[in-house]
Structure 1
């Protein structure tokens, strides 16, 4: 397996380009995987010796890459931030590393869907310009400002794959990490992602080092065996636990069964929560996401920009999931349309988390 890394500052288009590259490779029949490395560092408060969580994310990526290789992936596409002052990190696999560039005007336009405050955008642009001026020369740079995504994808794919394999100093633990895992799932559009994120945020605000992962973002693969999402989450959990995280909050597709989760986390205290919402509530959530009201979409989001017919198909899928019986260990919690906070409070209480301010 070889790795293709696309890095850069916010707004250069690295995630959009990387996802399009992965889809192009997959359509050409290449066994392909995709990971956004930013999804591998959601553990706060950050360790004092790794305040930007560079080492945390790189360690998680190196361990997770092995899962993709074992699934038969031949090319792993990785997008996300990287330390600009350092050469491209070693993952243990042959790697091509590209640093995407774009001017401030282009980056401002591309950041617009995130619905950030003007001050936040200005700060991100200034920081990005400073970082881009000091990128380590070992990165190959590619300007995206005057190219369409399709043109940039073609430029990326045209470059030679891989490179010399570089040994990684990542240590693979022999034992599974312990700790508490709060596993949140439910039928499509019942609000699992929102509840899980808000629960993690309140832990962070309280200073409780806690990890957060979205299982769907850890297991994208094409033309290869499916990457086991529960096992991928467990890989990330071991990294977070090594820096002192006592809890991991997970949001996951309904299809991942509690049985598979228990097998992946044999030594952890796993609490399963299954959210529930009627068709009207779920449809409201779906429409908001389709319209972009919840900000920029994540990779593989089939709701962002979805048509009315596509929304109805997704709601129908959720209805079938909702009609299935509770699985062993699941705690059912209703999610009202009006507010997420009562659900967050209920999950925190039942999960045995401290009563934290919000």
Structure 2
């Protein structure tokens, strides 16, 4: 990777105990910087550590997450990001422990509610008193940690207030667009404009139109393998591609996400994974890029297909908050008009895929339970 004088990427890692408001504040910061015209990227650190069973020496997968962040940083630099917003937990004993390149500057920002507010948030999530006490104890340790650069007492602050405080630390480094950067770093090769993983570890991609259920099915497939003791990695493709367009609120770049996927593929292979399961939307034109990025691997694309009734049910469930909440999900609390737009767009997308993605293994999910579909995907790929 080319070295330049001074930092070229500003990493703002927002950490805290469970219930501290890390994800909400980090996403709001990402949107605020994007709206202000910054070229800003976002990643949830927990999305970088989904490899189970965990190694005995890294049960919390903190080392894996830190290594993944360092490995992905060159890709964000190559994509011209000025700031990378990271949300998620850190190891309370050792801190982030990530060996970022010298042209990447990291600031660790702790969000710290008062103990009573933190306890109330944990209990409101349906957790018990022991979980609440654990969160309060973790917050106390982090407030005294020497590796924390900035601590913000958030009690009494709105999300907007918290973001205003965080923006004080988001100065933007100079960025020379004419300087070439190796997006693959030491982890991957670059052929033409495509970042490529050298690993031959098999990959299963669960895809389909939006709201068909690719995340639910992909993650469920992983859960079954994890319970069976089969070391398997999981990546949500869209979670690797959050980067803003200048002057717009947010965007998701599939080309960036696929390059970062290649990095994660090689990293998880080196960490002993037998298989990588990927979920996410893929346009017809993205399939060739994905196969090129994973050129040494056997890649199986499983495309889910759903009728309008099933898509509407899935969209409504997400709007009601009945599924896992992920960054960038505009369906959360969406009104009926927006839900209808998403369903119509998904049906259009499905029509295009039916006409052009002939090499996919297609599974009809309409009216079926997730358990039933997961079992069929398992049989399809592993016999």
TM-score, normalized by the shorter chain, greater than 0.5: yes
Aligned residues: 342
Contact in 1 for aligned 2:19/2:118 (Cα 8 Å): yes
SS state at 1:299 partner: coil
Q: C-alpha separation between the residues in 2 aligned to 1:111 and 1:193?
A: 26
SS state at 1:118 partner: coil
Choose the corresponding residue for 1:126, options 133, 138, 161.
Answer: 133
Determine the structure 2 residue equivalent to 1:313: 341
In 2 relative to 1, CA 294–160 (structure 1 residues): closer, same or farther, beyond 3 Å? Answer: closer
In 2 relative to 1, CA 233–109 (structure 1 residues): closer, same or farther, beyond 3 Å? Answer: farther
* Aligned alpha-carbon RMSD (Å): 2.1
Shift of 1:87: 4.0
Determine the structure 1 residue equivalent to 2:108: 97
Shift of 1:206: 0.4
Write the mapping of 1:246-325 to structure 2, written as runs, cut at 5 A.
Answer: 246-255=274-283, 257-295=286-324, 297-324=325-352, 325=355
Determine the structure 2 residue equivalent to 1:181: 203
Determine the structure 1 residue equivalent to 2:56: 48
Contact in 1 for aligned 2:312/2:343 (Cα 8 Å): yes
Contact in 2 for aligned 1:5/1:77 (Cα 8 Å): yes
- Structure 1 gaps, min length 5: 164-169, 354-358
- Structure 2 gaps, min length 5: 1-8, 174-184, 190-196, 247-251
With normalisation by structure 2, the TM-score equals: 0.84
> Residue deviations 1:185-204, cap 9 Å, x none?
11111111111111110010
Determine the structure 2 residue equivalent to 1:145: 155
In 2 relative to 1, CA 154–78 (structure 1 residues): closer, same or farther, beyond 3 Å? Answer: same
Shift of 1:127: 2.3
1:192 aligns to 2:203 (yes or no): no
Q: C-alpha separation between the residues in 2 aligned to 1:249 and 1:125?
A: 33
> Residue deviations 1:250-270, cap 9 Å, x none?
001133732111011011111
Choose the corresponding residue for 1:341, options 346, 349, 371.
Answer: 371
Shift of 1:160: 5.7
Q: C-alpha separation between the residues in 1 aligned to 2:15 and 2:244?
A: 22
Shift of 1:109: 4.9
Determine the structure 2 residue equivalent to 1:204: 226
With normalisation by structure 1, the TM-score equals: 0.90
In 2 relative to 1, CA 24–43 (structure 1 residues): closer, same or farther, beyond 3 Å? Answer: same
> Residue deviations 1:133-187, cap 9 Å, x none?
2222230211112211000000110236389xxxxxx953666122111101111
Contact in 2 for aligned 1:31/1:221 (Cα 8 Å): yes
Determine the structure 1 residue equivalent to 2:4: none
Shift of 1:220: 0.2
SS state at 2:141 partner: coil
